Amino acid sequence: MAHTFGSIISVALILIGCISSTVSEAAERPPNIILIMADDLGYECLSSNGSTSYQTPELDALAAKGMRFTQCYSQPVCTPSRVQIMTGRYNHANYEYFGYLNPKEFTFGNLAKKAGYATCIAGKWQLNGLTYKLDGYQDSNRPHAAGFDEYCLWQLTQPRSKGERYAQPLIEQNGKLLDSEKHTYGPDVFTNYILDFIERHQKEPFLVYYPMVLTHDPFVPTPDSPEWKDTPNKKDKRFFAHMVNYMDKLVGRIHQKLEALDLSDDTILIFTADNGTHRSIKSSTQSGVVIGGKGTTPNAGTHVPMIAYWKGKTPIGKVSSDLIDFSDMLPTFGEAMKAEHPNPGVVEGTSFLPQLKGERGRPRDWVYCYYDPLWGNLGQYKNQFVRDQRYKLYQDGRLIDVSQDELEKSPLDQEQVEGQFQQAHQRLARALNQMPRFAPKPPNKKP
């Protein structure tokens, strides 16, 4: 009897050990990562951020369940933001041409592959150097070089002049051009591909990068617009609101897929945008009208929404004023994946993973912007600045109290800078002086 009882105890201990081991392994499993980045969508466009022009119920629900960051800053225009967010480095280090990412750059896709993740990118690429026909501009393997196993992309090897991204889109998927009809909608194609990828890789760690094509111009109907059936390519600024609503709907579909597959506990889901809203768009908010500032350095060009949700980890409904810079994404993902950059000294971002877990973390004292657009007529906005939640110091010496002067029309005068704002000026000047100044344009730089 004693022998039987002892055997029972032994079996029970073994089972407990197995269960504990299983729980421990589950706890140690690195999280999936999904980064969704809208195109040309300023902070003012989410109803959770005070918008009264647009309704974004899916993103609002994510913010209510997760975290909403009120101080996230991008670059003012698309390629500079995309290069920075993918590499964890400021534009002075690796922004060479508009529409181009040097294939030698190490991205968070490469980092995920190093950590054993399945990886996918879908949406807008525009990084092969199509505009200037740079070396390899028609190389359909560039997404693989950037660390992505699979892709479904617009503007990979085909220029925008050959096909748009919305109705009847021109999309390349893993080396092949997709057939599309008049009422094929590009954003649906990208989202469906991501949902399928998640389904196929649900049992292993995965990283999904979704640089959306919404809400960039042309402002055209969505499948939810009454005009979609007859005139899907009709252009009108009023369709911007439809596009915001549809973007929100697609984010909701991805969130719902995670919930249906019971993956929300194992997935860091982050939503942001690459720069401010198009300058032709006026949006009403609870605090007034905001005119889009894409391409410019004031808040309307660089202040973007950010929401993060990691079920069971992110504090429910927390609103954080911690500064977030686009260079911070790569080190955050690296810490979550337990993967180290092969040359960590070049990474200029700071991980905010602790904040996602409800810890204090290591909040930034300032964020930095090196902005040389190398595009169109935007050169007039070329500048550098360092800012915190309230103050912004430009390379040309202007100190702005953004809390009182969001449009930056009245820089503080020298007497004010030397008086009550002296400490802020000195603090930001120390940071700005650490950064390289604009270098002369190389002689081989194409126009």
Spatial separation of the C-alpha atoms in residues 217 and 229, rounded to whole Å: 20
Same domain, 224 and 173: yes
The number of distinct structural domains making up the chain is 2
* 332 is a domain residue: yes
7, 239 in Cβ contact below 8 A?
no
Do 359 and 391 sit in the same domain of this protein? no
Where does a domain end: 367, 394, 411?
367
Can you give the CATH number for the domain in which 311 is found? 3.40.720.10
User: Within this chain, do residues 41 and 175 fall inside the same structural domain, yes or no?
Assistant: yes
Contacts 24+ apart (CB under 8 A), 163-168: 164/218, 164/233, 165/124, 165/213, 165/216, 166/213, 166/218, 166/220, 166/222, 166/232, 166/233, 167/220, 167/221, 167/232, 167/233, 168/232
Quick check: bond before 215 cis, omega within 30?
Answer: yes
Q: Is residue 22 part of a domain?
A: no
206 lies in the same domain as 332: yes
Per-residue pLDDT of the chain (447 residues; tens, 9 = 90+): 445 545 544 444 444 454 444 444 445 789 999 999 999 999 999 999 999 999 999 999 999 999 999 999 999 999 999 999 999 999 999 999 999 999 999 999 999 999 999 999 999 999 999 999 999 999 999 999 999 999 999 999 999 999 999 999 999 999 999 999 999 999 999 999 999 999 999 999 999 999 999 999 999 999 999 999 999 999 999 999 999 999 999 999 999 999 999 999 999 999 999 999 999 999 999 999 999 999 999 999 999 999 999 999 999 999 999 999 999 999 999 999 999 999 999 999 999 999 999 999 999 999 999 999 999 999 999 999 999 999 999 999 999 999 999 999 999 999 999 999 999 999 999 999 999 988 665 544 543
Helix (H) or strand (E) holding 33: strand 32-38
Of 300, 320, 287, nearest to 53 by C-alpha is 287
Q: Is 299 a domain residue? A: yes
Buried b (16+ CB within 10 A) or exposed e, 50-80: bbebbebebbbbbbebbbbbbbbbbbbbbbb
